[in-house]
Amino acid sequence: MEHEKEIQEIKDRLTSVESQLKRKSQSSGTFKILVLIGIIFLVLFLILIGLYQFPSRGTT
């Protein structure tokens, strides 16, 4: 009887830990996508600045 209770508690804890890990992996994936979008935006912004500056430097 005592062992069955302990086994059930362990199963409950395992279920809880699995759900926590699932939530963390989903939020981690979202964070990675946001960081990737930020890096792409920064690179495109720097390219636009370079394209704007290139003709301006050629006219002097």
The string of pLDDT tens digits covering residues 7-60 is: 999 999 999 988 888 877 777 788 889 999 999 999 999 999 998 888 777 665
Tell me what pLDDT residue 38 has: 96
Burial class (CB in 10 A: 0-12, 13-18, 19+), 41: exposed
Tell me what pLDDT residue 22 has: 82
Tell me what pLDDT residue 59 has: 60
Q: Is the pTM of this model over 0.75?
A: no
Between CA 13 and CA 20, with CA 17 as vertex, the angle to 5 degrees is 140
Tell me what pLDDT residue 58 has: 66
